[in-house]
Structure 1
Amino acid sequence: MQLHPPFLALALAAPLAAVAAPVPQDTPYPGAIGLAVDATDLDHKILRIRETIPVQPGRLTLLYPQWIPGNHAPTNELKRLAGLRMAAGGKWLDWTRDPDDFYALNVDVPAGVARLDLEFQQLLPMAPTGSDPFLGRNLLDVQWQGAVLYPAGHYATRIAVDPSLKLPAGWQFGTALRAASASGDEVHFERVSLETLVDSPVFAGKYFKRVDLDPGAARPVFFDMVADDATALESEDDQIEAHRNLVRQADRLFGARHFAHYDLLLSLGQVDYDLGLEHHQSSENSVKDNYFKEWDKTSFQRYVIPHEFVHSWNGKFRRPADLWAPDFNTASHNSLLWVYEGQTQYWGDVLSVRSGMFPIADMRERLARRVAWSQVADAGRTWRSLQSTTDDEIITGRRLPIDWGTWQRFEEYYDEGALVWLDVDTRIRELSNGRRSLDDFAHDFFGVEDGRVAPLTYTFDDVVAALQKVQPFDWAAFLRGKLDTIGPDAPLDGLARAGWRLGWTDKQSDYAKAIDSVREGADFRYSLGLHMGKAGEIKDVQWNGVGFKAGLRPGLTLVAVNLKAYKPDVLRDAVTAAVKDKAPIELLLKDGDDYRVARLDWHGGLRYPILERIEGRPDLLTAILSPR
């Protein structure tokens, strides 16, 4: 292989001696980083980056962000960084990766050099899912953590950055960053800290629409939408009004705004229909392109926007003390995610209904599905506590699939956490004879210091003290009992106190059918203990359920049911028929290159969760969900 400069010099250079990266200090980095991102390579899904960093002679350690806020884990993929070259005074410099920390790059800056010039690429996923950034033919999500290297030794709040972004011709954008100037299709943003930059993604696209959700507000809220097709942006007045009501109801709940401005970013048509990632002054949300077109059928998509909006108060402003970190390469800890995510899940659902974004009947079914999962499907509760699940994102990494979700448990601090907060809310109402509620906690805890944007951290003791102020009770013992207990019973006291209980029906609702349609699957979890994928693949098997006991596991493909080619309706009909004829349901399965038969001895018919009223109990759930 023939080498050419500057690569010859790089190849022959001896590795720099390993030196631990400087510990971040609360001191300003001298000068501002210039960061220019070119996002015009739609064909290859590549961002091309040029960066200038003020430097002083000597050893410099540059860090590629690893721990990303909102992901609760070291999720930024180092493999996306490619083509890195560093230069000073027009000469290429050798750099080496730290052998003890692959996210740290070391370079020796020569005497007389005051600026380091970098160029590299961020290679975006070909088919993004989850919280991945994306670049498509018509829309783009720039997440700055994948497009920047920063000097070690300083808090992210003390490193200044002058960012710019070049977009495909004619594209428009939405972001919490504010434009300082524009030249053609390149926009230069106002100077921000590195922390604010990473916390301010950009949604851009060929088809773009911006709506002011609170006209005339001193701290405005904008709705920035991008779509694969212009028709997906067409909306009715009442649909936009529901989003305006979300802002109003949040104001009434929290009594303060902790942002200078807020941009609700929404992409319509991206592959992952429920992307949601919180930021302090914006949020990333993704839905299918029928979000507005089929409003009456798509309420299940609308939980994500209220959830991420609530995070501006819970998680970004009020932030768990052990989750706060000085930079993006210092490990954070997740012990309070049952507040950060669990209570956000609770308030997101509540505000969804209060605002009119979610019909109350659909929310009852959403809650029924949550309760059914916690009480029936989640067998892992018998060996693993709710508290222990707060480390799941670190354990699994980027929410990678797990084989036995009902046994391993995964991120139960979201939905089970929400059930705990329903228990807290109804308990406060009961103890105070209806005079107080969790609304009072939200106002006192998240509504302090109106206008403050800088994070205000909290501990477990702070949460307990705030609850105690609202309603005297032994909240510490109550919460630890819910968090640390291992056993089969889900925390359903709050549901019963709210006047409802879990029930079952053999009729699949329109709400459930819509979810199956979008996810291109079929849900038999509460009958056969199976969740089916698009082409008959078994996506999930309930631990110790009917399918499990018959030898089924995730990854098998269901070919036929009682000698009829598999379709969801064929399996539904077989489950219904087995109630009367008492014959086993025979499944033909493909297992790699082999085929085998399994017989499921189930005669309980189809089962779908619903909520039923408890006679004689007041309906606190409807009171909780009613607009303020």
Structure 2
Amino acid sequence: MRTAAGFGLILGVLALGGCAPEAAAAPATPRAALTGPIRVQVDARDAPQMVLHAKLTVPARPGALTLVYPKWIPGTHGPTGKVADISGLRFSAGGKPLAWKRDPEETSEFALSVPAAASSIEVELDVVVDKRWGETPDVSDLNWNRVVLYPKGARSSDVQLEPSVQVPAGWHFATALRRVSQAGESVTFQRVSLETLVDSPVVMGRYGRTIDLGTALGAPHSLELVSDTEGAVNANEKQIATYRRLVGEATTLFGARHYDAYSFLYILSSEGDRGNGLEHHASSQNLGVPALFSKDDEFRLASTLLPHEYAHSWCGKYRRPKGLATPNYQEPTRNDLLWVYEGLTEYLGWLLAGRSGLAQPQDSKDALALIAATLDAIPARKWRSLGDTTYTPAFGQESNRPWYSAQRARDYYPESLLIWLEADMLIREKTGGARSLDDFLRAFFGGTSGGAEVKPYELGDVVTALNRVAAHDWKAFFEQRITEVAAHAPLGGIEGAGYRLSYRDKPSDRQGLVERINKTINERFTLGILINDKAVLTDVHFDGPAGRAGVAEGSVLVAVNGRKYSAELLRRTIADNKGSASPIELLTERDGFYRTHRVTWNEGGRYPYLERVASKPDTLATLLAPRNR
């Protein structure tokens, strides 16, 4: 999964075969809960009004029955199933209404009694559309977990469903599910397990396009675009070619695939955030802006999104930490290995973007420098380990909340990228360049080509697989970087690759790109502040120059040295104050109160980049070079 906030923007069809996660402690599905497949019919014609309707026919035996609404949604790593979005819920049997009761503690559970003569019950379910995926009157999606109920205690791999959907008239749609029949906008799909259904979203929009990305390892691949803007789906041949190379690089890297066909599902919405994505075995659900293919800046900034979500088909879906391979969607996940599930995938997204040409070499280096410098500077490193950030989704901390530098957020994405880069460099060093992390990736995540499968692992399995590639105390390596509180970011990978993190007096082209698109000014490495286009200080380093001068997060920057604030003025003032004994005076406003702050900073501009170390080989260039020629 990728999110638009924080580091997500720095790096900026055939059926699935359902397979039960190998969770040894999981109880078997109660026999009384399974009397046949559930039929789920979704009417999405009111999606333009932000409502979905569903009718479920649930086979059931007479007596007590508890149905549950999915709560812990795969890929989100938290209890993100929004039962509060239910806007209508009616149960009946033989046309007669049935009374139901919500559990007062587990509010996603609904208890009812099936009448003596009934063999099934009917459920009518209405939900408001979740706007997380940029839904507008002309573009929407269907995540099946939002429109289903299933028997309490059932394993998601055991519950079978017969799904169908009616999309708005004239809309284009795409999914990894196999179609059985279609009449107009009404589509019936092949029977699948609940596990497979939840793993197979449908994207839909007034405008759409299917782009063939070719066949690799015997499986077809496609790019499916939907949008509310007519010209948004007009990707050019050069852009499409990079996605074809992405497929080639990924399948070459892993050597096997775990799907029968793969679709990149891309929603390009006028209300969309950049960088949002969610992984699935045979597809990925991605969100971008309508200008993605028409503006170079937008395409560059999104370079790692599809590589990240695609790599999840191997790292996250096929091989999955045991704590994330839960038997159903009511079982809480254990997130302590998210630095592998998401962190290694973040590395893979950066790596595959470089190898495929989605990101140019200098962009990849500049992105790496910006990540490393941001992590190295945050005050929260003094109290919170990287490992502790893996619990962030479970306790509901949003990725875009304020106080990032004081609290940390989902740093298991970017910081783990640095750690896995370091692991790669260490393998190369230990083996005299004969082996690399690529060998571990192929051995651990490759396997044998076929349909969807889940093969859980624990940390010990990762350590063992790495030792087969290069002998080392990998357990201690990871414990030090994951569980210990560290004042500085792990920079060993950058240094092992022949570079060092340095600073210049002008922002890199990559930093300029991020600032233009995000409408921010990043002065974290000088005054210790981040400012948005409304002049609001969205992040303040408490131990930075501005923080020590009393500047508060959330305040508005009004003036710099007595002159009305502008981004250009602030950056020029920082540069001109180099070597001066005078402070920089900032005037801020918050809640109607004005304060003047005398900020001590005379080192001029300070912006990160990677500096080559001439005495070492340029292993980054080797690392990012294409493999699929």
TM-score, length basis structure 1: 0.92
Q: Does 1:50 align with 2:43?
A: no
What is the CA-CA distance between 1:588 and the residue it aligns to?
Answer: 2.1
- Tell me if 1:522 matches 2:521: yes
| Structure 1 residue 561: Cα displacement | 2.1
- SS state at 2:81 partner: coil
Q: CA deviation at 1:175?
A: 1.0
Deviation at 1:615, TM superposition (A): 2.2
Instruction: Find the partner of 1:98 among 74, 92, 103.
Output: 103
* Unpaired segments ≥5 residues, structure 1: 1-21
The one-letter amino acid paired with 1:290 is A
Instruction: Tell me the equivalent position of 1:226.
Output: 226
> CA separation in 2, counterparts of 1:62 and 1:613?
60
Query: What aligned pairs does 1:437-456 form with structure 2 within 5 A after superposition?
Result: 437-456=436-455
8 Å Cα contact 1:297/1:511 also seen in 2: no
Select which of 23, 29, 36 maps to 1:25.
29
Q: How far is 1:488 from its partner?
A: 1.0
Matched, 1:86 2:85: no
**How far apart are the structure 1 equivalents of 2:399 and 2:419?**
26
Deviations 1:462-519 (A, max 9, x none): 0011001111122122221222222313211121111011111222233222211221
Rate the CA distance shift 1:493–1:216 in 2: closer, same or farther, 3 A. Answer: closer
Residues 360-402 of structure 1, C-alpha deviations (whole Å, 9 max, x = no match): 1000000001110222x222222222222111111234x2544
Residue 501 of structure 2: aligned partner: 502
Tell me the amino acid that sits aligned with residue 137 of structure 1. P
CA drift at 1:582? 4.0
Q: Which residue is 2:46 aligned to?
A: 41
| Worse-matched range after superposition: 215-224 or 448-457 | 215-224
Q: Secondary structure at the match of 1:322?
A: helix
Q: Secondary structure at the match of 2:324?
A: coil
What does residue range 59-208 of structure 1 map to in structure 2 within 5 Å?
Answer: 59-125=64-130, 128=131, 132-208=132-208
Shift in Å, 1:23: 5.9
1:276 partner SS: strand
C-alpha separation between the residues in 1 aligned to 2:591 and 2:615?
55
Q: What residue identity is the alignment partner of 1:72?
A: H
Alpha-carbon RMSD across the aligned residues, in angstroms, is 1.8
Alignment of 1:125-524 (within 5 A): 125=130, 128=131, 132-215=132-215, 218-269=218-269, 270-295=271-296, 298-375=299-376, 377-397=377-397, 399=398, 401-524=400-523
What's the counterpart of residue 3 of structure 1? Answer: none
AA in 2 matched with 1:455: V
User: C-alpha offsets along residues 396-452 of structure 1, whole Å, 9 cap, x if unaligned?
Assistant: 34x254432123121221111111111110011011001000000011001112215
CA distance in 2, matches of 1:595, 1:149: 53
| TM-fit CA distance, 1:133 | 4.2
**CA distance in structure 2 between the partners assigned to 1:423 and 1:568 by the alignment:** 36
> Is contact 2:172-2:206 (8 Å) kept?
yes
Q: Distance in 1 between matches of 2:429 and 2:473?
A: 15
SS in structure 2 opposite 1:145?
Answer: helix
Write the distance in 2 (CA, Å) between the matches of 1:186 and 1:588.
60
Q: By how many angstroms is 1:570 displaced?
A: 2.0
In 1: Cα distance, 2:348 partner to 2:121 partner: 46
Q: Please, which moves more after superposition, 139-148 or 361-370?
A: 139-148
| Separation of aligned partners in 1, 2:163 and 2:451 | 24
Alignment partner, residue 563 of structure 1: 562
Are the aligned partners of 1:506 and 1:608 in contact in 2 as well (CA < 8 Å)?
Answer: yes
- Asked if the contact 2:134–2:287 (Cα under 8 Å) also holds between the matched residues in 1, the reply is no
AA in 1 matched with 2:428: R
Matches within 5 A, 1:1-16: none
Tell me by how many angstroms 1:243 deviates. Answer: 0.3
Identity of aligned residues (%): 39
Between the aligned partners of 1:26 and 1:332, the Cα distance in structure 2 is 21
Decide whether the 8 Å contact of 1:342 with 1:413 is kept in 2. Answer: yes
Separation in structure 2 between the aligned mates of residue 239 and residue 401 of structure 1, nearest angstrom: 30
**Per-residue deviation, 1:250:** 0.6
Determine helix, strand or coil for the equivalent of 1:106.
Answer: strand
| 3-state SS, counterpart of residue 249 of structure 2 | helix
Letter in 1 for 2:519: E
- After TM superposition, the structure 1 stretch with the greater mean CA deviation from structure 2, 212-221 or 186-195, is 212-221
The answer to whether the Cα contact below 8 Å between 1:23 and 1:152 also exists between their aligned partners in 2 is no
Report the Cα distance in structure 1 between the residues aligned to 2:234 and 2:543, rounded to whole angstroms: 47
Query: Please, which moves more after superposition, 542-551 or 347-356?
Result: 542-551
Query: 1:7 maps to which residue?
Result: none
Q: Deviations over 1:341-371 (max 9, x none)?
A: 1111111111101011100100000000111
Q: Within 2, Cα distance between the matches of 1:215 and 1:324?
A: 30
Distance 2:217 2:260 in 1: 10
Q: How big is the shift at 1:593? A: 2.4
Letter in 2 for 1:79: A
CA distance in 2, matches of 1:110, 1:296: 61
CA distance in 2, matches of 1:155, 1:301: 36
Whether contact under 8 Å (1:550, 1:600) holds in the other structure is yes
The 3 A distance-change label for structure 1 pair 232 and 403 is closer
Residue 213 of structure 1 deviates from its aligned partner by 0.8
Report the Cα distance in structure 2 between the residues aligned to 1:297 and 1:326, rounded to whole angstroms.
39
Structure 2 counterparts to residues 523-538 of structure 1, below 5 A: 523-538=522-537
Q: Is the contact made by 2:78 and 2:396 (CA closer than 8 Å) also made in structure 1? A: no
Rounded to whole Å, the distance in 2 between the matches of 1:298 and 1:515 is 12
Looking at structure 1, the residues matched to 431 and 447 of structure 2 have their Cα atoms a distance apart, in angstroms, of 23
Q: More displaced, 153-162 or 581-590?
A: 581-590
Which secondary structure state, in structure 2, belongs to the residue aligned with residue 403 of structure 1?
A: coil
Other-structure match for 2:23: none
Rounded to whole Å, the distance in 2 between the matches of 1:493 and 1:99 is 51
Q: Would the alpha carbon gap of residues 460 and 506 (structure 1) be closer, same or farther in structure 2, given more than 3 Å must change? A: same
Contact 2:59 2:121 in 1 (8 A): yes
Which letter maps to 2:302?
A: Q
Which secondary structure state, in structure 2, belongs to the residue aligned with residue 502 of structure 1?
Answer: strand
AA in 2 matched with 1:301: A
Give, in whole Å, the separation in 1 of the partners of 2:70 and 2:216: 37
- How many angstroms apart in 2 are the aligned matches of 1:406 and 1:278? 28
Distance 1:523 1:216 in 2: 41
- Stretches of structure 2 lacking an aligned partner (at least 5 in a row): 1-25
Q: In structure 2, how many angstroms separate the alpha carbons of the residues matched to 1:297 and 1:224?
A: 18
CA distance in 2, matches of 1:235, 1:204: 18
